[in-house]
């Protein structure tokens, strides 16, 4: 029997599939992870590990369980052997609550990459490919949306700087890099989350990237 390749998608609400139109979850066939599974076919297992509000390393004083660093090791261990980790986090780090700069957010992503490399080397004997995605930018009209208490213009400005810092991290650690903001934008509904069309486009591009970078 052919061994399946496992792709772990570790992210926030845009990996979970938050629907900005109603606050619920898109169906599997709409979510970029579900569409990616369809594209890749039966030789791959796409694991959806998206959590609303998840950060890289910042701890929410109300919802502390959403710190991405804390769940990363158990997640990697649960799904091992993992052949690729698709990491798309950083948007929630820009909440006014944390006051983080784009550089600090990238440092958070760097911390996760270090854990992925060291933990998988120990627990499964090899390091998976890592695809680091700089997330779509927060829209300027977020201040008029339902998320106006979470994100302000500072967050909008810093989100536009993320890609440069993320690329630097990816280059330093031998990761595949993808700047999602060059291809998709946040929805008009809330200026944070993705529309079905953006999910579809993201899945199509990631399919090509993954196909090129997995033997």
What residues are paired with 10 via a beta bridge? Answer: 49, 87
pTM value? 0.96
Q: Could you report the per-residue pLDDT of 155-198, keeping only the tens digit for each?
A: 999 999 999 999 999 999 999 999 999 999 999 999 999 999 99
CB 131 within 8 A of CB 205: no
Q: What is the mean pLDDT of each run of 10 residues along the chain (215 residues)?
A: 89 98 97 98 97 96 93 98 98 96 98 98 98 97 91 96 98 98 96 98 97 83
Residue 70 class from Cβ within 10 Å (0-12 exposed, 13-18 middle, 19+ buried)?
Answer: middle
Identify the pLDDT of residue 215.
63
Identify the pLDDT of residue 126.
97
CB 52 within 8 A of CB 64: no
């Amino acid at each position: 029997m052919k061994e399946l390749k496992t792709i772990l998608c570790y992210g926030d609400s845009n990996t979970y599939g938050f629907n900005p139109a109603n606050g619920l979850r898109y169906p599997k066939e709409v979510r970029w992870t579900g569409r990616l599974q369809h594209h890749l076919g039966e030789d791959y297992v796409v694991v959806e590990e998206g959590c609303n509000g998840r950060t890289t390393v910042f701890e929410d004083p109300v919802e502390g369980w959403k710190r991405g660093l804390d769940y990363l090791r158990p997640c990697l261990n649960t799904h091992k052997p993992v052949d690729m980790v698709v990491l798309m986090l950083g948007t929630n780090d820009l909440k006014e609550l944390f006051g983080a700069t784009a550089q600090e957010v990238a440092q958070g992503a760097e911390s996760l990459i270090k854990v992925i490399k060291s933990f998988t080397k120990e627990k499964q004997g090899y390091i998976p490919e890592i695809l680091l995605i700089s997330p779509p930018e927060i829209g300027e009209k977020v201040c008029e949306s339902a998320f106006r208490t979470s994100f302000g213009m500072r967050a909008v400005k810093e989100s536009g700087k993320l890609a440069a810092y993320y690329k630097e991290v990816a280059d330093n650690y031998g990761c595949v890099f993808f700047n999602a903001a060059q291809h998709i934008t946040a929805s008009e509904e809330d200026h944070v989350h993705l529309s079905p069309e953006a999910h579809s486009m993201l899945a199509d591009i990631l399919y090509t990237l993954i196909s090129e970078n997995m033997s």
